[in-house]
A and B are shown apart, each in its own frame.
Chain A
Amino acid sequence: MTDRPLTGRARPDRTPHTLEEWRALGGYEAVERGLRELTPERVLDMVDEARLNGRGGAGFPAAKKWRFMPKPGEAPGDGPNYFIVNGDEMEPGAFKDRILLEATPHQLVEGAILAAYATHSTEIIVLIRDAYRDAIRNVSRAIEEAEAAGYLGRNVLGSGFDIRMWVHPSAGRYIVGEETALIEALEGKRAVPRKRPPFPAQSGLWGRPTTVNNVETVSCVSHIVANGSNWFQSLSRTQEGGTKVFAVSGRVNKPQVIEAPMGATAAELIEMAGGVSGNGVLRCFQPGGGASGFLEADALEVPLDFGHVRAAGSMFGTGTLIVLDQTACPVGVIARHMAFYARESCGWCTPCRDGLPWAARIMADIEAGSGHLSDLDILRMTVEVGGPRGRAFCDLMGGAMSPLGTGLARFGDLFEQHISDKCCPVARDHRRAAA
């Protein structure tokens, strides 16, 4: 269990533990220790020393974000600090938070209580996507049990600290996962991202100091408090602490969630996922979900963490790999991604609202064999306008441009062949080889 702290206790059928069962496995010891023996500052320092980076996509150090949260009385006006758990998981290829929500909800509750303590938050909200009904049910039940046991509510464990926690079931739309859009959603509005600054720690939910963290990030916290920062750091093979709940899907024989040390390689993970399927030869992979750039076989041995993947020219994102073998066409994958991001644009800013549907249409044409060479210039321009250093309002568009930009750069010949041959060359050659 210790080498897979986050998923080691999950049951194969994902039935969650009752609070009693969870306690028998050591559950809530960290909460008792944290709230009885440690100050909020000490909990925060431990998370800092553990080098826990956010697992929701950007890899921002959790403790650094938490330090922006004002202490009671420091923020102007009345009202609580909020701690929000982001369980919107909708990135193409991402299915890692699901297991943590469904199978180990008490781990999440424990982590959230400690995180709330460290950020002086007295209200915890867990936003969960609509399609994860089992997750909504299991987390809600875990919260009820924790309340009944006195881990939530008034004066938790005699600490003088009050904490309320509840689940907000969402109702669709990928953009809800963007943290400021999520705050808008919780306020009962359309989920359009907010301008930053002010950052949520200054002015978040209902204008109050707010921290948003990913489900996996929060699920790490009790382990750090229970076993120490050095232990957490030692789980990793790199400078970034902990294990990582990876997921591998696409053209692999056994797509699955795999908890492995931070810094595990794509070669190892693909092997654990039963190896490359299709013709068994890797063409490329996305290391961090749909919004991460393509990497090829020369990156198979790159230690997967935020720093190393960035240095390799992509983004670690959600740490969920999408694998393509030689018989799978990256142009087709990019077409699916563009259709997705275009549909999920919130519509607020022009580059994204108008640029993504345009790119999606062009990709569909190219894939169908009715594209033109001049289309490639339009796609490149879209990448320029909407890419990471571009002019869109939030990172949805920038993310969407990662597979498109890296796809054009790495697989330009395939794009051109689709256009010149008026069909998908990969599918055609594969059919020929099979015949």
Chain B
Amino acid sequence: MSLAPDLCAAIEEAKHHHGGPRPAMLESLRMIQQRHGWVSDAHLEEAAALLGVTTAEMEDVATFYSLIFRRPVGEKVILLCDGASCWLNGGDAVRDAVMEKLGIGFGETTADGRYTLVNICCVGGCDHAPAAVIGRDRRLVGPLSPDDLDRLLGEDAR
């Protein structure tokens, strides 16, 4: 599936934003991911062509930044904090409970394609520890406890 025309136009447009095609690479990757949830090889190549950079240059950037996903992810990506402040407030128990409930480990996606679980450094939510951010709009949730995971996974987590 190739990139939608409006996305192509936005990528072309990004070339003219600040500093030419190079800085537009990350912006394009972000736009593709916002639309599709992740960045496939085909989309990456297409965007590189639109920007006039090589696929290798694009890949170089895409693989450095940890929140550009180069593999398919679930509908909701759960970025679970594994930092010290969360750990001090029971983060390990939350992690274990999430893994058990979803039946997946870090870096994995549930079979029904609904959730992907990723560990992340401090999410800047230490006042809500243990905390996570979830979904495409990176909504902060916490404090989490093993028996109240519905707050993480449920409706109000969007």
Is A257 at the interface (CB under 8 A from chain B)?
A: yes
Interface stretch of the complex, out of B5-13, B16-24, B109-117, B145-153: B16-24
**What's the Cα separation between A90 and B126 when bound, in Å?**
11
**In the complex where A93-B83, A172-B68 touch, is A249 in contact with B60 (Cβ < 8 A)?**
no
Interface stretch of the complex, out of A23-31, A154-162, A184-192, A236-244: A184-192
Tell whether, in the assembled complex, residue A251 and residue B88 are in contact, meaning their CB atoms are under 8 Å apart: yes
**In the complex where A190-B60, A250-B85, A324-B88 touch, is A171 in contact with B26 (Cβ < 8 A)?**
yes
**B85's contact among A92, A129, A185, A190, by CB below 8 Å, is which?**
A92
A310: chain B residues within 8 A (beta carbon): none
**B23's contact among A186, A190, A320, by CB below 8 Å, is which?**
A186
Is B25 at the interface (CB under 8 A from chain A)?
A: yes
Tell whether, in the assembled complex, residue A249 and residue B19 are in contact, meaning their CB atoms are under 8 Å apart: no
Tell whether, in the assembled complex, residue B30 and residue A169 are in contact, meaning their CB atoms are under 8 Å apart: yes
**B126's contact among A130, A132, A189, A255, by CB below 8 Å, is which?**
A255
| B contact patch SS | mixed
CB distance from A192 to the nearest CB of B (A): 9
State which residues 27-42 of B face A: CB under 8 Å.
29-30
A90: chain B residues within 8 A (beta carbon): 121-122, 124
State which residues 103-131 of B face A: CB under 8 Å.
120-129
**In the complex where A333-B87, A340-B82 touch, is A191 in contact with B124 (Cβ < 8 A)?**
no
**What's the Cα separation between A324 and B89 when bound, in Å?**
10
22 A-B pairs with C-beta separation under 8 A:
A93-B84, A93-B126, A97-B124, A131-B120, A131-B124, A171-B29, A171-B68, A174-B121, A187-B23, A188-B61, A190-B60, A191-B64, A250-B84, A250-B89, A255-B85, A255-B128, A290-B83, A290-B84, A320-B126, A336-B82, A340-B122, A343-B121
Task: Given A173-B65, A188-B21, output 14 extra A-B contacts at Cβ < 8 Å.
Answer: A93-B83, A95-B127, A131-B138, A132-B138, A169-B30, A171-B30, A190-B61, A206-B19, A249-B88, A249-B129, A250-B89, A256-B127, A290-B83, A332-B87
Residues of B at the A interface (CB closer than 8 Å) are 18-19, 21-26, 29-30, 60-61, 64-68, 79, 82-85, 87-89, 120-129, 133, 137-140
